[in-house]
Amino acid sequence: MASLDAIDRKLLAILQSDVSLSIEELAERVGLTKTPCWRRVQKLEKSGIIRRKVALLNAEILGLPVSVFAQVKTDQHTPEWADGFSEHMAQLPEVVACYRMAGDYDYLLRVVVSDISAYDRFYKELIRHVGISDIISNFALEQIKSTTELPIPPGEQS
């Protein structure tokens, strides 16, 4: 785990909620001047703690209101198959998250589409190109919580 002081933690919490703040605004909020604040943000980026800065889009306004959580099982467990599956998932824009799982199913996908017909097309294309032995599709009825903000671990107590 990375060594973070209280200012680093505060910077991360602020940036997770609003990355559009200027360095001046950010520095003011954490009690630093502009240059030391900028250096800290650069250090957090170089360390990989800040992976990238993005805009979060509204799926419904974009016409993509359907989220499907697909549990995928395969009977092919070779490294080559797994690499090919991962590469294929990375190429599918509808797949916004893909996890390799422990348990009854091998992978969990979050697929975002415009409607059930679009998911049906996605599903047929998926089973045509990837060796899957079983897939269970769960359709989200309501989004209760969705966040990209991670809980920032507390610092060491002295």
Q: For residue 62, what pLDDT is reported?
A: 98
Q: What is the CATH number of the domain that holds 42?
A: 1.10.10.10
Tell me the average pLDDT across 59-67.
97
CA–CA–CA angle 48, 52, 53 (5° rounding): 140
Tell me the average pLDDT across 89-117.
97
**Average pLDDT, rounded, for the chain:** 94
Tell me the average pLDDT across 23-29.
97
Q: Which residues pair with 95 in a beta bridge?
A: 111
Query: How many residues are present in the chain?
Result: 158
Asked if residue 85 is part of any domain, the answer here is yes
Residue span of the structural domain in which 13 resides: 6-46
pLDDT band at 158 (very low <50, low <70, confident <90, very high): very low
**Long-range CB contacts (< 8 A, 24+ apart) of 44-52?**
44/8, 44/11, 44/12, 47/2, 49/2, 49/4, 49/12, 50/12, 50/15
Query: For the chain, what is the domain count?
Result: 2
Structure tokens at 16: 């997770």
Q: For residue 133, what pLDDT is reported?
A: 85
Same domain, 70 and 135: yes
pTM: 0.86
Asked if residue 115 is part of any domain, the answer here is yes
Q: What is the CATH number of the domain that holds 79?
A: 3.30.70.920
